[in-house]
Amino acid sequence: MMPVTQVALNDARYEFWLYHQLAKRLRTGDIYIDDSLQHRRLADESVPPDQCAPLLAQMDSDIAWPP
Distance of alpha carbon 12 from alpha carbon 16, whole angstroms: 6
Residue 66 is predicted with a pLDDT of 57
CB 56 within 8 A of CB 65: yes
Decide if 3 is inside a domain.
Answer: no
Decide if 19 is inside a domain.
Answer: yes
Q: Give me the mean pLDDT over the 44-54 stretch.
A: 76
Is the confidence at residue 2, as pLDDT, over 60? Answer: yes
Residue 14 is predicted with a pLDDT of 92
| Residue 4 φ then ψ, to 5° | -85, 130
pLDDT band for position 62 (cuts 50, 70, 90):
low
Decide if 1 is inside a domain.
Answer: no
Q: What is the pTM of this model?
A: 0.47
Range of the domain at 29: 11-59
Decide if 66 is inside a domain.
Answer: no
Decide if 67 is inside a domain.
Answer: no
For the chain, how many structural domains are there in total?
1
